[in-house]
A and B are shown apart, each in its own frame.
Chain A
């Protein structure tokens, strides 16, 4: 019976192709918009969350220089006030698991005919532990390498590929600022950081080597920043306080005097970033849902017109023995077909547009099965919801009045 009524509905839709197509267009656009917006939102979210995951957990960063100095805002780290000894002392604090002093500068690297400019990080072995950075190949440098300022380097994947192509860089020699280094390890890829930098476009070398052999010596023994890891998430606040107290004491800062360093909770910053992309993605989704809703109202509009226009047809059907539910189903199925066909096409269009966006603008996008399922379900619900009122109106028509309708 339902199958026969479905056939009647399809016949009704076919009899008025243009109108059917236009009604469907509302749903098509709505569903496509939802798919695209969700894909963009999801893409941003997954980019942020993988950046956060690549950062390491429970991170604090201690920057040289105060956030304000004598009323004038200074760039962080412009005056290096931190030292390797500060880092060692921080590493010994009860709430801190490890700390690594770090200098970073861009430098030219050369291997044979290839040359490549990337950031060079000088640090201690703890750095890799704190950042949870694995080696894909080779071995990390050690305390001994730091003490003896040996010329060894760990290469990130991007830098390695640009210097050596697909071949393994381990055991090869590169020149950084004309100083020869032996590559002893290849770092596992980490992808983009929160601020969009390629974290694999780097070389990591011992701190002392960087300080003494690469980056001049304007402020001997100092570092731009120290990165530290708290023992646990709960220890973050305590670690921050301990570091503050320790550094004020070590730097002999008197009561009332301003800090010459700044401690930042990277994990909290990352969470803020994650929360704001989540909000952005919800907003994108909501905006798109509105167009789906408008599509639904379009269905109701057209169905109401259609019911009025077909009043006589309905009267005839009822007069020959159609029950209320037969009429109800016929019109409800028409609305449902429109919204289901519309959402099928919309899903296709949405996937197409998403791929086009990703290809043309390089936007990170993620299409998940649930976003397709969701927009499909919402479209079907919209069809039923907005189709029900016109269908009921049709089913409630009095046959005599309907037959008299001109």
Chain B
């Protein structure tokens, strides 16, 4: 199968004041096939979010190559990166990151605004996706009028609206109770098996990781374990 993602010797170091940059990722090599479902685990501060930001084209590696769909991301300028995020990627943030001043429907439809989709079509598709994540009829509410789990599902709907090939979710169940977590993971399961979307999720919980087909363990900016498993239904 073709690799959707190929990381070769990716490092990331953050400058901290005048001191020399602190390395967070130490040469990560990773291949992820199209259609895979990967869970990334690891201790807090081990660099999982840093890696996700790079995979999501929100940040660029300090060194090494990131090849996405055959294109080297390091060679793209800011607008080309924006286009990749818009056309290819969906990102579910740990802290939802919904716009507080616009309603749920417009939040879900936001990426389509930048894709140049007419307003009516934007709203039609957003309505449809709200139904898919079980939030029919919530479109007119403001994000702060929803529960944490509902906001998480709005964020997922937004990540899905541009029909991405790759969905990245950073601790998508971190704020949810176990029952809602199961709902979200089931949704991810069907997105992977039925819609063929490649999924990468970060999680601390083993029973959440159990939904994935492949588990990667991270420690101090390095991959220390990479196992294929039979996914939970």
Contacts and interface: CB of A to CB of B under 8 A. Distances in A.
Interface of A: 1, 4-5, 7-8, 11-12, 15, 312-313, 315-326, 399-400, 403
B16 to A, nearest CB: 14
Interface of B: 53, 56, 58-59, 78-79, 82-83, 85-87, 91, 93, 97-99, 101-102, 110-111, 113-116, 119, 158, 162
B78 A320 contact: no
Contacts of A321: 82-83, 85-87, 111, 114-115, 162
Nearest to B116: A1
A313 B143 CA distance: 13
Contacts of A318: 82
A323 B82 contact: yes
30 contacts: A1-B116, A5-B113, A11-B101, A12-B101, A15-B101, A312-B97, A315-B97, A316-B110, A317-B99, A317-B114, A318-B82, A319-B85, A319-B91, A319-B97, A320-B86, A320-B111, A320-B158, A321-B82, A321-B83, A321-B85, A321-B114, A321-B115, A321-B162, A323-B79, A323-B82, A323-B114, A324-B79, A324-B82, A399-B59, A403-B97
Nearest to B158: A320
Given A317-B110, A324-B79, A403-B97, A4 B119 contact: yes
A3 to B, nearest CB: 9
Nearest to B85: A321
Contact of A403 (B87, B93, B111): B93
Nearest to A3: B119
Nearest to B161: A320
A64 to B, nearest CB: 82
A400 B114 contact: no
Nearest to A325: B79
Contacts of A12: 101
A187 B91 CA distance: 87
A172 B79 CA distance: 88
A234 B110 CA distance: 75
A400 B59 contact: yes
Nearest to A312: B97
Contacts, number: 65
A400 B99 CA distance: 16
Contacts of A400: 53, 58-59
Contacts of B93: 319, 403
A316 B97 contact: yes
A319 B119 contact: no
Given A15-B101, A399-B58, A323 B83 contact: yes
A391 B56 CA distance: 25
B172 to A, nearest CB: 16
Contacts of B162: 321
Nearest to A15: B101
A325 B78 CA distance: 11
A135 B114 CA distance: 73
Contacts of A1: 116
A403 B155 CA distance: 15
B68 to A, nearest CB: 15
A400 B115 CA distance: 21
Nearest to A320: B111
Pick the most buried of B56, B97, B113: most chain A CB atoms within 10 A of its CB: B113
Contacts of B78: 323-324
Contacts of B82: 318, 321-324
A157 to B, nearest CB: 65
Contacts of B158: 320
Contacts of A320: 85-86, 91, 110-111, 114, 158
Nearest to B87: A321
B45 to A, nearest CB: 15
A179 B83 CA distance: 97
A316 to B, nearest CB: 5
Contacts of A323: 78-79, 82-83, 114
Contacts of B114: 317, 320-323, 326
Contacts of A7: 119
Contact of B113 (A8, A15, A315, A325): A8
A8 B107 CA distance: 12
Given A15-B101, A324-B78, A400-B53, A319 B113 contact: no
B196 to A, nearest CB: 21
Given A1-B116, A4-B113, A400-B58, A313 B99 contact: yes
A368 to B, nearest CB: 41
Contacts of A403: 58, 93, 97
A243 B56 CA distance: 94
Contacts of B110: 316-317, 320
B79 to A, nearest CB: 5
Contacts of A325: 79
A12 B106 CA distance: 13
Contacts of B85: 319-321
B206 to A, nearest CB: 28
